[in-house]
């Protein structure tokens, strides 16, 4: 298990490009950026390279600056826009050598939304750049009211229907705890389809160890499962990010 830093949340007091240096100084070798679209890809790549970092994950679609919802992969009337925006996201992902692209569903419900999501994922997976894995992540209704993918059982159903080798589950301890009440049990139940792990404590997405998630038990179960990928800190760190990184010593 390898620690990674989500620098969209960590070091919030620093300018975006300065966060890469801070992450490297803290001992990270990999980072996530949720929405890197506002900065030229070459500048982000330069910051990674200068600090010996790999950018492993970003989100799709790009932000909606008109104030609309984040994501629409499950919204039946927006399939054309989904394909256009995913194509743009692929250009960024290739330029940044990203490993994982999280596909956001948007607000929707029902069987038509389910089928739209499955169809869009198949379309996207068939056109994804080589080496890129598309991930789907259940988000809890407190943080994201109305979000279509709000349950891990639904995520398994979607992945079974898509049945593509480059589409997998993104697990987040904060969301798992908020949705199902036991992040460790959720990991155990879905370890076979998890490609990437993120951590944050519940109920406020705070520093690991500050809330209701049993991280000692969770990390032990992740290790026992044979997972050897990244464990990415995606949480609100408090006044000083460096003081929130004790979880790295537990891996």
* Residues tagged active-site: 137, 234
Q: How far apart are CA 166 and CA 244, in angstroms?
A: 33
CB 60 within 8 Å of CB 103: yes
Q: Who contacts 12 (Cβ-Cβ below 8 Å, separation ≥6)?
A: 236, 237, 241
Using alpha carbons only, give the angle 11, 4, 34 rounded to the nearest 5 degrees. Answer: 65
Residue 90 backbone dihedrals phi, psi, to 5 degrees:
-65, -35
CB 107 within 8 Å of CB 149: no
Q: How far apart are CA 26 and CA 6, in angstroms?
A: 13
């Amino acid at each position: 298990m390898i620690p990674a830093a989500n620098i969209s949340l960590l070091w919030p007091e620093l300018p975006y490009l300065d966060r890469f240096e801070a992450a490297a100084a803290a001992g990270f070798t990999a980072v996530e950026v949720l929405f890197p679209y506002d900065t030229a890809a070459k500048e982000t790549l330069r910051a990674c390279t200068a600090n010996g970092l790999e950018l492993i994950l970003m989100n799709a679609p790009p932000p909606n600056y008109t104030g609309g919802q984040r994501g629409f992969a499950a919204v039946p009337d927006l399939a054309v826009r989904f394909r256009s925006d995913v194509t743009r996201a692929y250009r960024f992902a290739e330029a940044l050598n990203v490993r994982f692209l999280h596909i956001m569903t948007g607000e929707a419900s029902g069987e038509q939304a389910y089928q739209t999501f499955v169809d869009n994922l198949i379309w996207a997976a068939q056109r994804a750049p080589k080496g890129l894995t598309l991930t789907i992540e259940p988000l809890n209704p407190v943080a994201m009211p109305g979000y279509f993918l709000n349950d891990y059982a639904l995520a398994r159903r979607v992945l079974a229907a898509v049945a593509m080798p480059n589409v997998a589950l993104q697990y987040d301890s904060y969301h798992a705890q908020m949705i199902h009440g036991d992040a460790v049990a959720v990991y155990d139940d879905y370890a076979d389809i998890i490609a990437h792990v993120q951590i944050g404590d519940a109920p406020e997405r705070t520093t690991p160890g500050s809330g209701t998630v049993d991280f000692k038990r969770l990390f032990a179960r992740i290790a026992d499962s044979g997972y050897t990928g990244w464990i990415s800190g995606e949480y609100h760190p408090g006044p000083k990010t460096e003081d929130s990184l004790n979880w790295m010593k537990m891996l």
